[in-house]
Structure 1
Amino acid sequence: MADTNRIGIIMHGVTGRMGMNQHLIRSVLAIRDQGGLRLSDGSLVMPDPIIVGRNAAKIEELAKRHGVERVTTDLDAALADPYNVIFFDAASTKLRPTLLKKAIDAGKHVYSEKPVSEGLEEAVEIARYAKEKGVKNGIVHDKLDLPGLVKLKRLRDNGFFGKILSVKGEFGYWVFTGEDQPAQRPSWNYRAEDGGGMVSDMLCHWRYVLDNVVAPVKSVSCTTATHIPARIDEQGREYKATADDAAYATFMLEGDIVAHINSSWCTRVRRDDLVTFQIDGTHGSAVAGLHKCYSQHRANTPKPVWNPDEPQKMNFFEDWQDVPDNTVFDNGFKVQWEQFLRHVLEDGPWAYTLTEGAKGVQLAEAGYKSARERRWVDLEDLGI
């Protein structure tokens, strides 16, 4: 039997919903529970997480519930231990650049949630620092491994669309204000002073989605709104919503492709999924959600007739074909953890470095600048 090696992973900020569910439970512990990760030489690697946090009782309870043997409130001690090879952060964006630099100085490879920082200058600085120090580094890019977007990219790579003309994206749902029903998102999301905001939250996602699934983003025109001026927090107190809760952005992509994405916490869903992306091209179109993807080739495109005097008789949804899975899709976060582990341990391919994280912050800053100045903003080369 091949040898099994263990790799220590410092997991910071995984008591929150995203860090706990997607990164700890469904990724690192899922790799552990499947018997480890098999490398190209046939050996097995077993991830051995250490949960780091400020609240000892909280992290100990989390560890006990999921069979994690190691916890600590002492980040410095965890970083000083050579057994721990990787540092992962899913805590506060405000503190992230400082924590990543500290981990890099300790010789750790670093992987983090997005955004990598609140500002572009810091994002570029930490990306350069990781590059200079020669540590492996990565930013989470979870949506690229969603089955729907994998299928959409597969169609693009196979030339299905012909010349791509445009992209339409719709994202969001109604987040309750807390008056009649409890809000399903934390209150800090709606306070700019606490790092909230639709543009800062989502445009970093749209950067890597558009860059990788369609074509690189070149410029942006964005309008923001705070549609709901006051909400109710977790303690039942009313607070002023100071962050944008919706963003309406148009992007120019390489190849003169026009992309428009609406992002809103103030909309009710009547579409295939909570997020959908439609690509239109000269040869065909396709629309993808989280899991499903539907296509319509030009040979199968119906010819509707505009007639406002009669109810529409065509069901436009019936004229689209389901793009088959053709493979078994694993959890997207887990797929990326496996990719990053291979990158660290055997120099496997990895494109989603902190430089890509800086590009996401760049687009968010450009979006806010566009909204303030009511104009198009071009994206410059970061020179990292």
Structure 2
Amino acid sequence: MSRNVVGIVMNGVTGRMGYRQHLVRSVLAIREQGGLPLGDGTVIWPEPILVGRSEHKLKELADRHGLEHWTTDLGEALAHPLAQIYFDAQVTQAREKAIRTAIEAGKHIYTEKPTAESLDAAVELARMAREAGVCNGAVQDKLFLPGLLKLKRLIDSGFFGQILSVRGEFGYWVFEGDWQTAQRPSWNYRAEDGGGMILDMFPHWRYVLDGLFGEVRSVYAHTATHVPERFDEQGRSYAATADDAAYGVFELDGGITAQINSSWAVRVDRDELVEFQVDGTEGSAVAGLRNCRVQHRSLTPKPVWNPDLPVTESFRDQWQLVPDNGEFDNGFKIQWELFLKHVVTGSEYQWDLLEGAKGVQLAELGLRSAREGRRLDVPALEI
């Protein structure tokens, strides 16, 4: 079996998401399984080329995982003879410039979202990649979560009949950072540093809604900064200038209404950190990260509203669990494998930078909707 070595310049892997999900659980996991087989006796062998600002962190990370290639110079990394793909998991503010540099160097592009801070910049990156003829993709990992894969299976089977509505709940309490360390970096709560719930999560909701239910046609959003003061990594207080919660209503193709609440100031009373309830004429489902429960029309109970009597039935027990019917791999790793095959074999790949730009578009319109207090149409996006 021969190896097709594909060098991947990985920028931002000293951060939480870049390290855990993309380096360890995706790229290194592919290597641990012996590479990515193509079925013709060849395996794709991803070779990370780490790049970042901290020499100390990069060296420690490379030593920990036995990796050979790392540098603090992006130009040097892109010029590496093995480098074919540039991957970006930096903070949003640094992403556009780095991706432009990588496109100009002729590298294929794979990037976390949002792909840029503004719609104009995101569309320009997509245009540049297309004109340069490089493969390009944006991370849309939630489409590959077990819970949403099961939900997609239900949709494709016609289980719901006509889908009427989608309700999403996402979030958890992020500690303020004074008496307990915050679980997220402080820049997430400063608008001037590219933080904010809408900019972080509306790009996710765009590809989930588009990919599962129908194109988003309008948005109405309300934002809040529920926790106005937080404490950074050094224990210093700072003003939270970005929205830490966003409440959105979206109109989709086919008249479907979607409502999604996103908050870092909510305590969890759900089975999973994100859940989507889908209601249709023939049945309903509740899908999370891993599990999916259903209730068919023929098995729908008849609750009776009576505030004078205690509830004697367990509503959650009236749902059935959708079986796995197979093994589910890490969602980030699945998309990495698809992108690697796309680069090496030219196989079809639909989650490109234009799809990533749609997420930036929805975030931009969501922020504008919140400022102006009105519903806004979401026009079709083209390069």
**TM superposition score category, shorter chain reference:** over 0.9
By how many angstroms is 1:41 displaced? 2.4
Residues 200-229 of structure 1: CA deviation (Å, up to 9, x unaligned): 000000000011111111110000001111
Q: Match for residue 91 of structure 1?
A: 90
Q: Match for residue 19 of structure 2?
A: 20
By how many angstroms is 1:381 displaced? 1.5
Q: Indicate if the aligned counterparts of 1:247 and 1:263 stay in contact, CA closer than 8 A.
A: yes
Query: What SS does the aligned partner of 1:68 have?
Result: coil
Q: Counterparts in 2 of 1:364-375, with a 5 A limit?
A: 364-375=363-374
Query: What SS does the aligned partner of 1:261 have?
Result: strand
Give the root-mean-square deviation of aligned CA atoms. Answer: 0.9
Instruction: For 1:82 and 1:236, locate their aligned partners in 2 and report how far apart those are by CA, in whole Å.
Output: 43
Q: Indicate if the aligned counterparts of 1:172 and 1:266 stay in contact, CA closer than 8 A.
A: yes
Give the counterpart letter for 1:374 in structure 2: G
Q: Match for residue 314 of structure 2?
A: 315
Give the counterpart letter for 2:30 in structure 1: I
By how many angstroms is 1:40 displaced? 3.6
Give the counterpart letter for 2:325 in structure 1: N
Q: Counterparts in 2 of 1:331-350, with a 5 A limit?
A: 331-350=330-349
Q: Indicate if the aligned counterparts of 1:153 and 1:214 stay in contact, CA closer than 8 A.
A: no
Q: Indicate if the aligned counterparts of 2:218 and 2:376 stay in contact, CA closer than 8 A.
A: yes
Q: Indicate if the aligned counterparts of 1:12 and 1:51 stay in contact, CA closer than 8 A.
A: yes
Structure 1 unmatched runs, 5+ = none
Instruction: For 2:189 and 2:2, locate their aligned partners in 1 and report how far apart those are by CA, in whole Å.
Output: 49
Give the counterpart letter for 2:220 in structure 1: S
By how many angstroms is 1:81 displaced? 2.9
Q: Counterparts in 2 of 1:107-126, with a 5 A limit?
A: 107-126=106-125
Q: Indicate if the aligned counterparts of 1:9 and 1:87 stay in contact, CA closer than 8 A.
A: yes
By how many angstroms is 1:92 displaced? 2.2
Q: Percent identity?
A: 63
Q: Match for residue 175 of structure 2?
A: 176
Give the counterpart letter for 1:345 in structure 2: V
Instruction: For 1:180 and 1:329, locate their aligned partners in 2 and report how far apart those are by CA, in whole Å.
Output: 38
Instruction: For 2:167 and 2:344, locate their aligned partners in 1 and report how far apart those are by CA, in whole Å.
Output: 39
By how many angstroms is 1:237 displaced? 1.4
TM-score after normalising by structure 2: 0.98
Give the counterpart letter for 1:380 in structure 2: P
Query: What SS does the aligned partner of 2:301 have?
Result: coil
Change (3 A) 1:20 1:374: same
Q: Indicate if the aligned counterparts of 1:136 and 1:344 stay in contact, CA closer than 8 A.
A: yes
Q: Match for residue 218 of structure 2?
A: 219
Q: Match for residue 250 of structure 1?
A: 249
Instruction: For 2:374 and 2:113, locate their aligned partners in 1 and report how far apart those are by CA, in whole Å.
Output: 26
Q: Counterparts in 2 of 1:212-291, with a 5 A limit?
A: 212-291=211-290
Task: Determine if the alignment matches structure 1 residue 292 to structure 2 residue 291.
Answer: yes
Give the counterpart letter for 2:168 in structure 1: G
Structure 2 unmatched runs, 5+ = none
Query: What SS does the aligned partner of 1:193 have?
Result: helix
Q: Counterparts in 2 of 1:350-361, with a 5 A limit?
A: 350-361=349-360
Query: What SS does the aligned partner of 2:5 have?
Result: strand
Give the counterpart letter for 1:218 in structure 2: R
Q: Counterparts in 2 of 1:36-115, with a 5 A limit?
A: 36-115=35-114
Instruction: For 2:3 and 2:123, locate their aligned partners in 1 and report how far apart those are by CA, in whole Å.
Output: 37
By how many angstroms is 1:43 displaced? 0.9
Q: Match for residue 185 of structure 2?
A: 186
Give the counterpart letter for 2:242 in structure 1: A
Instruction: For 2:3 and 2:238, locate their aligned partners in 1 and report how far apart those are by CA, in whole Å.
Output: 52
Q: Indicate if the aligned counterparts of 2:70 and 2:77 stay in contact, CA closer than 8 A.
A: no
Instruction: For 2:177 and 2:91, locate their aligned partners in 1 and report how far apart those are by CA, in whole Å.
Output: 24
Instruction: For 1:230 and 1:300, locate their aligned partners in 2 and report how far apart those are by CA, in whole Å.
Output: 48
Instruction: For 1:154 and 1:321, locate their aligned partners in 2 and report how far apart those are by CA, in whole Å.
Output: 15
Give the counterpart letter for 2:286 in structure 1: V
Change (3 A) 1:318 1:17: same
Q: Indicate if the aligned counterparts of 1:4 and 1:44 stay in contact, CA closer than 8 A.
A: yes
Query: What SS does the aligned partner of 1:255 have?
Result: helix
Q: Indicate if the aligned counterparts of 1:217 and 1:254 stay in contact, CA closer than 8 A.
A: yes
Query: What SS does the aligned partner of 1:290 have?
Result: coil
Give the counterpart letter for 1:293 in structure 2: C
By how many angstroms is 1:106 displaced? 1.0
Q: How many positions carry a matched residue from both structures?
A: 383
Give the counterpart letter for 2:270 in structure 1: R
Give the counterpart letter for 1:360 in structure 2: G
Instruction: For 1:381 and 1:131, locate their aligned partners in 2 and report how far apart those are by CA, in whole Å.
Output: 18
By how many angstroms is 1:231 displaced? 1.1
Query: What SS does the aligned partner of 1:271 have?
Result: coil
Give the counterpart letter for 2:367 in structure 1: Y
By how many angstroms is 1:246 displaced? 0.4
Instruction: For 1:272 and 1:135, locate their aligned partners in 2 and report how far apart those are by CA, in whole Å.
Output: 41
Residues 343-370 of structure 1: CA deviation (Å, up to 9, x unaligned): 0001122110000110000000010010
Instruction: For 1:143 and 1:293, locate their aligned partners in 2 and report how far apart those are by CA, in whole Å.
Output: 14
Q: Match for residue 127 of structure 1?
A: 126
Instruction: For 1:77 and 1:355, locate their aligned partners in 2 and report how far apart those are by CA, in whole Å.
Output: 28
Off by >6 Å, runs of 4+ in structure 1: none
Change (3 A) 1:255 1:46: same
